[in-house]
Amino acid sequence: MSETLIDSNVLLDILTEDPKWLSWSADALEEVAEHSVLVINPLIYAEVSVRFERIEDLDGVLLHDTFRRDPLPWSAGFLAGKCFTKYRQLGGPRRSPMPDFYIGAHAAVGGMTLLTRDPRRYRTYFPTIEVIAPE
């Protein structure tokens, strides 16, 4: 069975019932879940956690039997740093969050597909990963 890393923006669209993205994100997550293991990592967990007051409430949404929780590989940290450096050299602003690069690197070194609604940076800096995103 394949593995798909679920970007926090997809999860937050569903949790916040985002009027623009709820339908796409919910449908895409449901479709991916039919044939893939759903994976999150500590960065995704942290980004989603801002919507919750208590860890128990967050864990009640990101259930262990629904989302596999993977650690962040050291090799992904190295790749994230290299891609972020390239991004900066090409004029990318400092305000761009390093976590996006780490999420892309995690998918790349783990051989995972990435489900996100913001694919541009991932496709640019991590061309080897399969990205599922709105057209």
How much of the chain is in helix, strand and coil states, percent to nearest 5?
50, 15, 35
pLDDT confidence of residue 95: 67
pLDDT confidence of residue 80: 93
The pLDDT confidence band at residue 96, using thresholds 50, 70 and 90, is low
Pairwise CA distance, residues 117 & 135, whole Å = 9
Whether residue 124 is predicted with pLDDT greater than 70 in this model: the reply is: yes
Which DSSP state fits 3?
E
pLDDT confidence of residue 98: 83
Pairwise CA distance, residues 109 & 111, whole Å = 6
pLDDT confidence of residue 88: 87
DSSP strand pairing (113-115 vs 2-6) = parallel
For the residues 2-10, what does the mean pLDDT come to? Answer: 98
Pairwise CA distance, residues 123 & 65, whole Å = 29
pLDDT confidence of residue 102: 94
By mean pLDDT, which of 42-46, 52-56, 94-98 is the weakest?
A: 94-98
The two tokens of residue 94 are: 């400092």
Mean pLDDT, the chain, rounded, equals: 94
For the residues 6-27, what does the mean pLDDT come to? Answer: 98
The pLDDT confidence band at residue 91, using thresholds 50, 70 and 90, is confident
Exposed, middle or buried: residue 37 (CB in 10 Å: 0-12, 13-18, 19+)? middle
Phi and psi based region of residue 87 (left: phi greater than 0; alpha: psi -120 to 50; beta: remaining): alpha
pLDDT confidence of residue 52: 96
